[in-house]
């Protein structure tokens, strides 16, 4: 008995090392962090992006996404070849609570979440898993899940720096700012009763795509005369907006009190402050897709004719919480 004890004591450090190696794979799982969306102080500039949008981890690791904008987003993993469903449907359905697990066998999605909320996903199986937002079509990413023995190319500090760099590049887009200023100057030169509805730019990297969107009506306050018509045009390549006067509809997708003009623009008429007119979703027509029929044109322009004097405020029913509002003053 004494001899056995002496053997254990002499080999104690070796036994402790072996026991540590046996336990380590079960408890030392990395906890990775990333963010969803970002915005400037006024909330008018929105980064519709996963930051960063490409992460390498080990099987068994977790990733926690923190939502960082008032604009809603989802963290969604779909099955292979599954088509994205509307954000109010989920994948279908939504994960309950603040955690979930994804191995590719069944979809996983948060409900639309907003600033300050978090969601953690465990990845028990190896694979390359595409990450999407159900609200924004050009907001994607990928999680590469490697076996425990594989070497990871980066650590958390790298991803923190990368996310900060991507955020700065998206929210301080000088090219888009110059384009916005030039378009506004062109509109002023022509003295047209027109309003730019947002602007945006879609970019991509090896992990997926992201969008920078200006959630504002440019030259939003107009002064016109009774009988004049104002035209709104969505200049964002990816983000839909609405032009909503009066009562906000329960379902913002479809127009209210508006008809199609011969050129395909929707047209409403307002005679008093009691009138409600709504454009429905005004958005760019999606690109044609191979092997699929050419899509019909979507509505990119909306017009309203004002028959009487008054002051008529309007909003984007999707983004008024971000400050996307305007006003038409009609003189006799």
pLDDT, one tens digit per residue, over 83-120 is 999 999 999 999 999 999 999 999 999 999 999 999 99
Q: What is the dihedral of CA 265, 270, 274, 279, to 10 degrees?
A: 10
Task: Look at the alpha carbons of 100, 102, 105, 110 in this order and tell me if their dihedral is positive or negative.
Answer: positive
Chain segment 243-258, per-residue pLDDT in tens: 999 999 999 999 999 9
Q: 25 with 19: CB under 8 angstroms?
A: no
* The pLDDT of residue 180: 55
Residue 7's pLDDT band, with cuts at 50, 70 and 90, is very low
pLDDT at residue 188 greater than cutoff 60: no
Q: 246 with 275: CB under 8 angstroms?
A: yes
CA angle, corner 139, sides to 88 and 179, nearest 5? 120
Q: 78 with 93: CB under 8 angstroms?
A: no
CATH 2.60.40.420-classified regions of the chain:
28-171, 174-200+216-331
* The pLDDT of residue 191: 53
pLDDT at residue 21 greater than cutoff 80: no
Q: 105 with 17: CB under 8 angstroms?
A: no
| CA–CA gap between residue 293 and residue 323 (Å, rounded) | 38
Task: Say yes or no: domain 174-200+216-331 is CATH 1.10.260.40.
Answer: no
| CA–CA gap between residue 111 and residue 73 (Å, rounded) | 8
φ/ψ of 40, rounded to 5, equals: -85, 180
Strands 208-218 and 45-51: antiparallel
Q: Could you tell me if residue 176 is left (phi over 0), alpha (psi between -120 and 50 degrees) or otherwise beta? A: alpha
297-318 average pLDDT score: 95
Alpha carbon of 324 to those of 13, 80, 172, 216, 327: distances in Å? 66, 37, 19, 5, 11
Give the residue among 165, 160, 179, 317 at the shortest CA–CA distance from 252.
Answer: 317
* The pLDDT of residue 297: 67
pLDDT at residue 233 greater than cutoff 90: yes
Residue 139's pLDDT band, with cuts at 50, 70 and 90, is very high
- Output the furthest CA–CA distance in the chain (Å, rounded): 108
Q: Give the CATH number of domain 28-171.
A: 2.60.40.420
Helix ranges restricted to H, the chain: 2-10, 12-27, 156-171, 174-190
DSSP category for residue 113: B
- Burial of residue 230 (number of CB atoms within 10 Å: 0-12, 13-18, 19+): buried
The residues, ordered by sequence, that sit 6+ positions from 200 with a Cβ below 8 Å of its Cβ are: 176, 211, 212, 213, 214, 235, 236, 237, 238, 239
């Amino acid at each position: 008995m004494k001899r056995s004890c002496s053997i254990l004591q002499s080999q104690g450090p070796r036994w402790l090392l072996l026991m540590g190696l046996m336990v380590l794979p079960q408890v030392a799982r990395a906890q990775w962090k990333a963010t969803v969306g970002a915005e400037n102080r006024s909330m008018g500039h929105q980064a519709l992006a996963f930051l960063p949008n490409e992460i390498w981890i080990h099987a068994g690791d977790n990733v926690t996404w923190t939502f960082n904008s008032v604009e809603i987003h989802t963290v969604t993993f779909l099955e292979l070849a599954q088509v994205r469903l509307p954000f109010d449907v989920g994948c279908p359905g939504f994960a309950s609570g603040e955690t979930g697990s994804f191995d590719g066998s069944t979809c996983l999605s948060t409900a639309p979440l907003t600033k300050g909320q978090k969601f953690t996903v465990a990845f028990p199986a190896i694979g390359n898993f595409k990450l999407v937002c159900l609200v924004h079509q050009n907001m994607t990413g990928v999680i590469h899940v490697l076996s425990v023995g594989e070497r990871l190319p980066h650590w958390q500090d790298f991803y923190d720096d990368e996310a900060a760099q991507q955020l700065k590049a998206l929210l301080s887009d000088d090219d888009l700012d110059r384009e916005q200023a030039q378009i506004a100057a062109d509109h002023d030169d022509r003295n047209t009763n027109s309003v730019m509805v947002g602007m945006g730019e879609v970019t991509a990297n090896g992990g997926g795509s992201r969008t920078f969107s200006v959630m504002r009506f440019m030259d939003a306050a107009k002064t016109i005369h009774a009988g004049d018509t104002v035209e709104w045009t969505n200049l964002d390549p990816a983000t839909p907006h609405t032009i909503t006067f009066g009562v906000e509809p329960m379902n913002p997708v479809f127009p209210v009190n508006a008809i199609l003009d011969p050129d395909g623009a929707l047209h409403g008429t307002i005679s008093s402050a009691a009138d409600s007119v709504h454009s429905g979703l005004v958005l760019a027509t999606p690109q044609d897709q191979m092997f699929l029929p050419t899509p019909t044109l979507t509505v990119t322009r909306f017009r309203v004719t004002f028959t009487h004097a008054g002051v008529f405020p309007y909003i984007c029913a999707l983004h008024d919480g971000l400050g996307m509002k305007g006003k038409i003053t009609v003189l006799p």
